[in-house]
Structure 1
Amino acid sequence: MRAKKQRIRDLLGLAQEQLSLLLEVGHSQLSLYELGLRRLPSTAIQKLAEMIAVVNTAASSAFMKSVAAEEAVQHKVIIQKLRKENSYQQERLSRILVPLEQKYQSNLTALYLVQQLHVEWGTKAPHQIGYLGTLKNSIGSALEKNSYSKLVQYQIKLKVLQGEEKILREALGPFDSAQGRLAQGDR
């Protein structure tokens, strides 16, 4: 019984306190009615029936249509703001990611070079081995600073933003196509 009464309040969009005021009954009286333990006065039942009738006709009312139209405009504005923020975040991440990828790749190339020189110069230029070790440590530190995990983290963030952009584009799609039809009709 409670679930049915709860749905009525939900249908009306009112809290129990608000509904009790409109029905001119006490909070406890309405609560007991919702629990199926007490009846409402006939005047309250009549008011409740009138409210339900109003709500049932509201879906087709001009008011509800204007609210829906206003919400559609607000929806479009919100989606456009989210797309703009998403675009900014993608650009920001790209400005970080491109140099990071370049530094990482450069460090890997340098590390490979040092390792190859260590092998080749081991017997030819033993005086350079110490410097190659220092250089290898320096490159290792740079690789840690511009670590692969950091690179992957930024790449994933960028992919997430690209996925979000696609979702936002799809969410805005009906609005863009509606505007396109309106613009073509104006010509």
Structure 2
Amino acid sequence: MNLKDKFSREERRVSTEDPAMSEALSVHLAEWLPPSKNVVIACIGTDRSTGDAFGPLVGSMLKDQKLQTFHVYGTLEEPLHALNLKDRIQYIHRNHTNSFILAIDACLGKSASVGSVVLGKGSISPGSALKKDLPPVGDVHISGMVNVSGFMEHVVLQNTRLHFVMQMAAKVAAAVHLTEGKRKEWRREHTPFQTLTPVAHKDRKFIK
């Protein structure tokens, strides 16, 4: 769970109330994620808190889609959380050399921004909303604004409606699925075709 109280020009923000939210987010993802690289998606959070379950929900939804150009870590069954995040990120770097990481995490912010999904360049600081010291994660990131910050964040997270978080997670997962299609199409267009040379058989005998 990170904290976002300011926005920059390097970010793209979409609203879950927008019917075209998934399509809009997929356009930005396709632009920002290198199409020639497999991307690791690190879905951060825990299933023990409704507000902080945003990341693992997205991860579980993506796991069910069997993506080809993304590797997904962090699900409801095997979450990436404060107790294992450092070790798991080290594991990702060992097993995905020069990996490009998309970090997905829930976020607290201003009341006017609740319901927004923010795509930003650079890493996020998981646990910052709860004053936890965790390593930064991601080359780019998606933050789902699930509730307001400023007072008793633990209670706020526990009282965030699960239905709201699930709707947001489903739309982000749909955006990643749309991006997968665009990345596969790019690879088909840019993969050189191999021409097959017919083999000549000088001594071929035909049976009449």
Structure that is richer in helix per residue = 1
Structure that is richer in strand per residue = 2
TM-score by length of 1: 0.27
Higher relative contact order (CA 8 A, sep 6+): 2
